[in-house]
């Protein structure tokens, strides 16, 4: 399952140019969040995207970037819409035709479509690049709601004139997991890493702790990095392992999973045997972060195996 975090894209995607392009959102009924055009599935344009950004402060918004000519989009978009409607108003789907709305596509750095990105509190959150099966869509939507709750975005919008769905009660987190989440909220990634490590020491089979540890390590590594400077440094030193690691981390945090894997696999084939070990270990760490079931991980593992043997 893809792991997502509202902090993962901060600084990697700048949506500030799309703010303030539309008048104030319509007033919603008391206790409910405003929907951009009513309902849980809305068509969004360059002009109206500012309203969607504001809406994401109350309700998580899933942005589906598509085009009429895109075959995979026609496979994925109906699944995204179906799963959105099943959430009972706890998620809004914003559909964006990239041909008609190039400014949104540029802001999200959409190198290929379909591209699905969520917004939580105005911050972009990577979800999918390319068509994925319905089961994976459901898994990532569940994770999206968890991340939204962690960031205090728990509103909902009315669906078909009905009252918003009641929030399901969540089971309390184990103490070490709760400590890790609190540390992440405070920006103390070192303390979060330590909490997850303690959880794994107590239970080495704790998959949530393993996934959380990989995620927070990535957040720790990308914190404070300047994307342009990092890319320039990597271009100037193509065999500098740490420089390439930093770009791969930022690519992964920005949702460009294939780019991150391709960069490290190219690096693996170019460096000496001692450095290959470091690159392989980082690849395995990123594979675990994305999840073994992801087809991008399977493809990268296959290429890595061919390079090893």
For residue range 195-224, list pLDDT tens digits in order.
Answer: 999 999 999 988 888 888 988 999 899 988
Q: Pseudo-torsion of CA 204, 209, 215, 217, nearest 10°? A: -60
Tell me whether strands 61-66 and 92-97 are parallel, antiparallel or unpaired.
parallel
Final residue belonging to a domain, choices 192, 222, 252: 222
**Domain assignment present for 185:** yes
**Domain assignment present for 274:** yes
Return the closest-CA partner of residue 231 out of 211, 251, 210, 215: 251
Average pLDDT over residues 287-303: 87
**Domain assignment present for 123:** yes
* 8 Å CB contact between 287 and 297: yes
pLDDT of res. 13 = 47
Give the domain extent around 36.
Answer: 16-150
pTM of the model: 0.48
Same domain, residue pair 214 and 231: no
Same domain, residue pair 68 and 129: yes
d(CA 271, CA 40): 50
> Residue 236: is it exposed, middle or buried by C-beta count within 10 angstroms (0-12/13-18/19+)?
exposed
- Domain count for the chain, please give it: 3
Same domain, residue pair 218 and 96: no
Q: Which residues participate in catalysis according to the annotation? A: 70, 73
Same domain, residue pair 123 and 23: yes
**Domain assignment present for 218:** yes
Final residue belonging to a domain, choices 117, 150, 183: 150
Same domain, residue pair 142 and 257: no
pLDDT of res. 170 = 59
For the chain, the helix, strand and coil percentages under 3-state DSSP, each to the nearest 5: 50, 10, 40
Q: Above pLDDT 90, what percent of the chain?
A: 46
- The number of residues making up the chain comes to 309
Query: What b-and-e string marks burial along 262-289, b requiring 16 or more CB atoms within 10 Å of the CB?
Result: bbbbebbeebeeeebeebbebbeebbbb
Q: Pseudo-torsion of CA 226, 232, 238, 242, nearest 10°? A: -20
pLDDT of res. 173 = 80
Same domain, residue pair 212 and 249: no
- For 207, residues 6+ apart whose C-beta sits below 8 A from its C-beta are none
Same domain, residue pair 27 and 140: yes
Span 136-181, pLDDT tens digits: 899 999 999 998 888 889 998 887 554 444 555 556 888 999 999 8
**23, pLDDT greater than 80:** no
Query: What b-and-e string marks burial along 111-120, b requiring 16 or more CB atoms within 10 Å of the CB?
Result: eebbbbbbbb
Same domain, residue pair 95 and 213: no
* 8 Å CB contact between 85 and 56: no
Strand residue runs (E) in the chain: 41-43, 61-66, 92-97, 115-120, 123-129
**Domain assignment present for 243:** yes
Same domain, residue pair 20 and 139: yes
Same domain, residue pair 50 and 114: yes
Same domain, residue pair 183 and 257: no
**282, pLDDT greater than 90:** yes
Cα–Cα distances (Å) from 63 to 68, 76, 91, 129, 179, in that order, read 16, 12, 11, 12, 31
**280: helix, strand or coil:** helix
User: Which H or E run includes 211?
Assistant: helix 207-222
CATH number of the domain that residue 232 is part of: 1.25.40.10
CATH number of the domain that residue 26 is part of: 3.40.30.10
**Domain assignment present for 3:** no
Average pLDDT over residues 50-74: 90
**Domain assignment present for 2:** no
Same domain, residue pair 93 and 217: no
């Amino acid at each position: 399952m893809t792991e997502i975090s509202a902090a993962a894209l901060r600084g990697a995607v700048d949506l500030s140019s799309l703010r303030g392009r539309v008048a104030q959102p319509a007033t919603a009924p008391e206790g409910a969040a405003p929907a951009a055009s009513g309902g849980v599935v809305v068509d969004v344009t360059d002009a109206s995207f500012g309203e969607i950004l504001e809406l994401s402060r109350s309700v998580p918004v899933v942005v589906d970037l598509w085009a009429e000519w895109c075959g995979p989009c026609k496979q994925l978009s109906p699944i995204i819409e179906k799963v959105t409607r099943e959430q009972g108003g706890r998620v809004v789907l914003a559909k964006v035709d990239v041909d008609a709305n190039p400014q949104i596509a540029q802001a999200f750095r959409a190198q290929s479509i379909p591209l699905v990105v969520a917004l939580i509190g105005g911050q972009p959150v990577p979800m999918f690049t390319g068509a994925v099966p319905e089961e994976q869509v459901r898994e990532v939507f569940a994770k999206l709601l968890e991340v939204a709750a962690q960031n205090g975005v728990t509103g909902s919008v009315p669906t078909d004139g009905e009252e918003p769905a009641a929030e399901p009660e969540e089971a309390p987190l184990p103490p070490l997991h709760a400590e890790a989440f609190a540390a992440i909220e405070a920006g103390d990634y070192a303390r979060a890493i330590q909490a997850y490590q303690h959880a794994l020491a107590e239970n080495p089979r704790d998959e949530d702790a393993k996934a959380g540890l990989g995620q927070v390590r990535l957040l720790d590594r990308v914190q404070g990095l300047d994307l342009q400077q990092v890319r320039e440094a990597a271009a100037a030193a193509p065999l500098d392992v740490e420089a390439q690691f930093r770009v791969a981390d930022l690519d992964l945090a920005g949702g460009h999973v294939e780019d991150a894997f391709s960069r490290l696999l190219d690096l693996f084939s170019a460096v000496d045997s001692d450095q290959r070990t470091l690159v392989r270990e980082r690849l395995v760490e990123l594979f675990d972060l994305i999840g073994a079931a992801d087809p991008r991980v399977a493809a990268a593992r296959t290429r890595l195996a061919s390079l090893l043997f």
